[in-house]
Structures are given as structure tokens and as C-alpha cells.
């Protein structure tokens, strides 16, 4: 397994506009799997140069790494915008930088461009096969063209570590109107989750929920997270700190789910000794794919820091 495809938790990816010193400072106090400091849509054209220098300084060694953020990423401007080269050459020397988010990836050559610049700018981090810490790339899928090119996009870079779905740009491209049911995005979301899986990419991060205030807004978010999880996504893009806890909780396995998974794994060890490939738990048949799913749930629960060993001791 390459470093880009190793298991990594990205249950929530929170955008922070890099043009705002206030938001940058606030991000330091947050607990979240991935922060994405933005140079694209949340930054006006006239603010781009300031945003670039802000983020380079914020992610430099003179500032300590924010303690409760697992992954620090920057979203550059689209390759087709003509701004990506300057974004990359400015930010790549940053000390605390784990991933680059590339928007509007339509074809493999968009990722070839970014990969070549990363290799050229940081050769010591990327050309040594013993180096276990290359930058990772996350690709935003936002158009019909991108959906038809998913296979080539997934194969385009050894640094590619996940796909993200951008609903608003996709709706613009197809002249769709976003509805609460999100059925208009069903094909695109399923295609993304399936392609990423087929190519062994660990992360599939679902559309932004634009509601972020109050009980009603956050219950819309919760529903969207559950629906995305049901389609095979394992994370959610967030635009406000209020969304992070719900996304991270929903994209972690639930307590009952973990307990069931541990019982299946323990039961399978016993069934194996008795030479039984199929057996029964709570009146339902358990066989190889069910055990596989249970093992994956246990592994995810461990990654999320849930008390798997304590549950195992009970069974």
C-alpha cells in the first residue's frame, strides 16, 4: 500500500478562507481531521496575493503546528485558472503542509501538472522511495467531464489520496437545481464513491451542507451525512466549525455498530476453530463478506480512537 492510499481519517474537511487572519487564528483552536486553507472560491481575486502570503506564514515553522488538527491542507486555484503555478510555488515550502486540494479536476493532465510541480519543488520529499511522508493530493470533482474521466483521474498521480464532490459547481455545469433530497446528484456521487474504491483511494468526501446554524440547520447536516455514508462516502466538507462535530461523529462507526462488529470478529474466530464458514448471530447468517465488513468496522473504530479492546473483553 502506498502512503497516499494508506488508511487515513478525513471524516470532516473544514474550509478556512486564507484571506482572513481571524479565521486562520480561530482554526488553531479547532479539533478536526482535516483543515483546508482556501485560496480558491472563498478568496476574491484582489485578495489572492495576500491570502498566499498569509497561509505560507501561518504554516511556517515559526508558528507551532495546530495541536488538534490531523491534516493541514491548502486548496489552490484550478489549473485552468492560470493561478495554480503561483499558488504552488508560494505555499509548497511551508513546513506544516500535508496535502494539496486541487479544484475543478477535469482530466488526468490537471493532476499531472500539480504532481510535476510538487516533485520539482520538493525533490527531497518526493523522489526518495524511502520517504514515508510525501504530500498528498485530494481532487475536487465538479463537472460532467470529470465524472466521465474518473478512471483516468484516479490513476493520474501516485500522490492522489481521495476524491471530493463539489455539488454547486456540478449543478452549474449541468444546469441542475439542488433539492433537499439531493437525488439530482445520485449518479455523480455513486460514481465518485465507486471509482475511488476501485482505485484504492482511501477518502471520498461528500458535498457541502450550506446549513450550519441552529437545530434545524444541523439536523439537515446530520441527514446529509447519513445519506453520504450510505452511498459510500467516508467524510464531509464543512464550511463552519459548528458542522465538524456532527460530521466526525456520523462518519465514525456508531457504538452499536462497533459492538456488533466485535461480536462478529470474536464469533468468527470460534467458528473457524469448529471449521464453520457460515454461522448464526442474533438469528442472522454470518459468512465471509459479513466478517470482512465487521473487520473493516473494527479497524475504522480503532482509527477513530474508540475503545475496541474494552468491548472485546466483554465477549
Q: Which residues bind ligand 1VU (CB under 6 A)?
A: 15-17, 22-23, 26-27, 38, 41-42, 166, 208, 237, 239-241
Residue 241 beta carbon to ligand 1VU: minimum distance, rounded to whole angstroms = 5
CA distance 56 to 87: 10
Only one residue has cell 510541480, namely 117
- Paired strand residues for 137: 100, 160
Minimum CB distance to ligand 1VU smaller for 66 or for 253: 66
- Taking the complex as a whole, the smallest distance from the CB of residue 173 to ligand 1VU amounts, in Å, to 13
| Residues paired with residue 37 on neighbouring β-strands, in sequence order | 16, 74
For ligand 1VU, the closer of residues 161 and 237 by Cβ is: 237
Nearest to ligand 1VU of 243, 297 (CB atom)? 243
**Smallest distance, ligand 1VU to C-beta of residue 132, A:** 30
Q: How far is the CB of 141 from ligand 1VU (least distance, A)?
A: 10
Choice between 23 and 279, CB closer to ligand 1VU: 23
Extract long-range pairs of 218-227: CB within 8 Å, 24+ residues apart: 218/242, 218/243, 218/246, 220/180, 221/246, 221/247, 222/246, 222/250, 224/182, 225/250, 225/251, 226/250, 227/182
| Cβ contact 22:43 at 8 Å | no
Q: Which one, 22 or 132, has the nearer CB to ligand 1VU?
A: 22
Q: How far is the CB of 69 from ligand 1VU (least distance, A)?
A: 11
Q: How far is the CB of 144 from ligand 1VU (least distance, A)?
A: 16
Q: How far is the CB of 137 from ligand 1VU (least distance, A)?
A: 16
Say what angle helices 84-91 and 108-121 make with each other, to 10 degrees. 30
Q: Closest approach of Cβ 240 to ligand 1VU, in Å?
A: 4
Nearer to ligand 1VU, 12 or 160 (CB): 12
- What the block records as the C-alpha cell of 270 is 470460534
Cell matching residue 229: 455514508
In 3D space, the residue among 10, 97, 96, 83 whose CA is nearest the CA of residue 40 turns out to be 83
Inter-axis angle of helices 255-273 and 288-303, nearest 10:
130
CA-wise closest residue to 143 among 105, 178, 176: 105
Task: Give the nearer residue to ligand 1VU in terms of CB position, either 108 or 239.
Answer: 239
Closer residue to ligand 1VU, CB minimum distance, 220 or 239 = 239
Buried b (16+ CB within 10 A) or exposed e, 95-120: eebbbbbbbbbbebebbebbbebbbe
Amino acid at each position: 500500500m502506498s502512503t497516499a492510499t494508506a488508511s487515513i481519517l478525513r471524516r470532516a474537511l473544514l474550509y478556512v478562507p486564507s484571506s482572513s487572519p481571524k479565521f486562520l487564528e480561530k482554526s488553531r483552536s479547532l479539533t478536526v481531521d482535516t483543515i483546508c486553507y482556501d485560496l480558491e472560491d472563498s478568496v476574491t481575486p484582489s485578495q489572492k496575493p495576500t491570502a498566499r502570503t498569509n497561509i505560507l506564514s501561518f504554516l511556517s515553522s515559526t508558528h507551532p503546528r495546530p495541536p488538534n488538527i490531523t491534516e493541514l491542507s491548502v486548496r489552490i486555484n484550478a489549473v485552468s485558472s492560470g493561478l495554480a503555478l503561483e499558488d504552488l510555488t508560494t505555499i509548497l515550502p511551508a513546513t506544516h503542509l500535508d496535502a494539496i486540494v486541487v479544484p475543478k479536476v477535469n482530466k488526468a493532465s490537471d493532476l499531472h501538472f500539480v504532481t510535476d510541480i510538487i516533485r520539482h519543488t520538493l525533490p527531497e520529499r518526493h523522489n526518495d522511495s524511502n520517504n514515508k511522508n510525501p504530500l498528498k493530493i485530494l481532487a475536487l470533482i465538479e463537472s460532467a467531464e470529470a465524472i466521465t474521466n474518473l478512471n483516468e483521474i484516479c490513476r493520474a498521480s501516485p500522490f492522489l489520496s481521495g476524491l471530493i464532490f463539489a455539488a454547486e459547481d456540478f449543478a452549474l455545469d449541468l444546469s441542475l437545481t439542488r433539492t433537499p433530497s439531493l437525488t439530482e446528484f445520485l449518479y455523480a456521487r455513486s460514481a465518485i464513491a465507486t471509482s475511488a474504491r476501485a482505485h484504492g483511494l482511501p477518502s471520498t468526501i461528500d458535498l457541502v451542507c450550506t446549513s450550519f446554524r441552529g437545530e434545524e440547520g444541523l439536523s439537515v447536516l446530520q441527514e446529509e451525512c447519513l445519506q453520504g455514508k450510505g452511498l459510500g462516502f467516508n467524510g464531509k466538507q464543512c464550511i463552519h466549525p459548528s458542522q465538524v462535530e456532527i460530521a466526525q461523529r456520523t462518519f465514525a462507526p456508531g457504538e452499536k455498530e462497533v459492538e456488533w462488529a466485535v461480536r462478529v470478529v470474536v464469533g468468527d474466530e470460534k467458528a473457524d476453530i469448529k471449521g464453520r464458514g457460515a454461522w448464526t448471530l442474533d438469528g442472522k447468517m454470518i459468512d465471509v463478506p459479513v466478517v470482512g465488513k465487521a473487520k473493516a468496522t473494527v479497524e475504522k473504530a480503532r482509527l477513530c480512537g474508540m475503545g475496541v479492546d474494552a468491548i472485546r473483553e466483554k465477549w
